[in-house]
Amino acid sequence: MNLMPMWLSREEERILEGERGFAAQKAMEILVALGEIFSADRLIPVGSVQISGVSYKTIGKEGLEWLESLSDGKAVVPATLNPAGMDLERWKEMGIPEGFAEGQLRIVRAFQGMGIQPLCTCTPYLLGNLPRPGEHLAWSESSAVCFANSVLGAMTNREGGPSAIASALIGRTPRYGYHLPENRMPTLRVDAPLRLKESFEFSLLGYIIGREAKNRVPFIEGVRGHPISKDELKALSASLAASGSVALFHMEGITPEASKAKKSLKLLISRKEFETLRIESKDLEMAREKLSTASEDEVDLIAFGCPHASLEEVGRIARLLKGRRLRRGVRLWVFTSLGIRRAAERCGYVAPIEAAGGRVYADTCMVVAPLEEMGFQAVAVNSAKAAVYLSASNKPRVFLAPTAKCISLAISKMGSEG
């Protein structure tokens, strides 16, 4: 294969020759290779970077050693991390094995050494890292990429961990894919005349669309109900990206590029160059059943926060648990970012959850924490993305249900057993 060389400025060439040290040189090599594979014409500046591949469970010893080899690198744009394999402060309480914790803490230190903020979350947009419409980014967490492109109107490809680190050290990314307006137009129409009530159902809808769409750009029509919330769009983004590899969707009347996308859709429909996917409410229940691999009686962990819970979601769980006690043998964990946990503490949401026997953990999630090593058999979740990832390994098995149903599994029939 003959790759076209990408144009580089003199400064970029000097970085490639090693003038800014080993890590910057390696980073530039990654960006140049990526740009040439995807026929990018040049590098463009990015406003922020979000890096996946942070959990010791995911990258292991080899990944850790590679990160440590980049110790002379320095991030030149704001950069944050995806969830790690444990709460960085409360890992002992979670029951994380010592050896795992040691590896995980070294990973976070290696990132910090490169000036990357130890904010481990897949929802940086809930923590003030809110990109502007049209801003170029290099984000790698798939749910955040889909949310940033679709709901915020920012422009990012779905980066891998190494290319996101490279962008953090160089401040640029190759110009291709979703950085180009012509690649942001719809390529699949979704007719979903549904009245959806909560994030759980949006998550199932995203799972069904993602499965069919693969990496196409869906234009979603027909979804009705109350005003659609950011948490529902967060759930939709996550599952679209989990069952397929959707990095951008449009939703009529909701997302910022939808009216422009609709014009392009009309043109393609008039030329009969369009496929339509129709989704009915019975499809949602079928998807839920397909993703549930455990029965409710087997559940020994209830885990919320995929993607990381918002303040409103922590508040809802707190209201449902207030004055209740968890059943013996069952644990309930809510995963969020450190910033949201602090805010939730101040709002009085953490106390009722923890008084009931649950925990609100930061920096990690049910997918990247070593649940299997910790002996869990079946986990109840309210997120199709979590179900997809957990059921891929089948350990622990998964029970997928709405938030209130998951909570009913956690509390004793009398609501007071210790």
Nearest residue (CB) to ligand F3S, 56 versus 389: 389
In a 13 Å sphere around the CA of 109, the CA atoms on its Cβ side amount to 10
| Nearest-approach distance from CB 276 to ligand F3S, in angstroms | 28
Nearest residue (CB) to ligand F3S, 334 versus 368: 368
> 334: which 2 tokens?
């809510």
Q: How far apart are CA 342 and CA 183, in angstroms?
A: 39
Nearest residue (CB) to ligand F3S, 125 versus 176: 125
Nearest residue (CB) to ligand F3S, 238 versus 410: 238
Q: How far apart are CA 365 and CA 367, in angstroms?
A: 5
| Nearest-approach distance from CB 259 to ligand F3S, in angstroms | 29
| Nearest-approach distance from CB 302 to ligand F3S, in angstroms | 15
Site string for ligand F3S, 320-359 (x = CB under 6 A): ---------------x------------------------
The residue from 184, 211, 288, 308 that contacts ligand F3S (CB under 6 A) is 308
| Nearest-approach distance from CB 359 to ligand F3S, in angstroms | 15
Candidates 15-23, 300-308, 393-401, 403-411: pick the segment binding ligand F3S (CB under 6 A): 300-308
| Nearest-approach distance from CB 146 to ligand F3S, in angstroms | 10
| Nearest-approach distance from CB 11 to ligand F3S, in angstroms | 34
| Nearest-approach distance from CB 392 to ligand F3S, in angstroms | 11
Nearest residue (CB) to ligand F3S, 53 versus 73: 53
Residue 104 contacts ligand F3S per CB under 6 A = no
Span 148-177, contacts to ligand F3S by CB under 6 A: none
| Nearest-approach distance from CB 234 to ligand F3S, in angstroms | 9
| Nearest-approach distance from CB 368 to ligand F3S, in angstroms | 6
The residue from 172, 175, 325, 385 that contacts ligand F3S (CB under 6 A) is 385
Q: What is the 3-state secondary structure (H, E, C) of the chain?
A: CCCCCCCCCHHHHHHHCCCCCHHHHHHHHHHHHHHHHCCCCCEEECCCEEECCCCHHHHHHHHHHHHHCCCCCCCCCCEEECCECCCCCCHHHHCCCHHHHHHHHHHHHHHHHCCCCCCECCCHHHCCCCCCCCCECEECCHHHHHHHHHCCCCECCECCHHHHHHHHHHCEEECCHHHCHHHHCCCEEEECCCECCCHHHHHHHHHHHHHHHCCCCEEEECCECCCCCHHHHHHHHHHHHHHCCCCCCEECCCCCCHHHHHHHHHHHHHCCCCCEEECCHHHHHHHHHHHCCCCHHHCCEEEECCCCCCHHHHHHHHHHHCCCCECCCCEEEEEECHHHHHHHHHCCCHHHHHHCCCEEEECECCCCCCCCCCCCCEEEECCHHHHHHHHHHCCCEEEECCHHHHHHHHECCCCCCC
> 170: which 2 tokens?
């160089």
Residue 122 contacts ligand F3S per CB under 6 A = yes
Return phi, psi of residue 44, to 5°: -125, 150
Nearest residue (CB) to ligand F3S, 28 versus 81: 81
- Cβ-contact 76, 170 below 8 angstroms: yes
Residue 306 contacts ligand F3S per CB under 6 A = yes
Nearest residue (CB) to ligand F3S, 50 versus 163: 50
The residue from 204, 238, 299, 317 that contacts ligand F3S (CB under 6 A) is 238
Q: How far apart are CA 20 and CA 14, in angstroms?
A: 8
The letter for the amino acid at 318 is A
Residue 367 contacts ligand F3S per CB under 6 A = yes
The letter for the amino acid at 60 is G
The residue from 50, 140, 143, 167 that contacts ligand F3S (CB under 6 A) is 143
Nearest residue (CB) to ligand F3S, 229 versus 412: 229
| Nearest-approach distance from CB 316 to ligand F3S, in angstroms | 17
Span 55-94, contacts to ligand F3S by CB under 6 A: 82-83
Nearest residue (CB) to ligand F3S, 120 versus 185: 120
Residues near ligand F3S (CB under 6 A)? 82-83, 122, 141, 143, 238, 306-308, 335, 365, 367-368, 385-386, 389
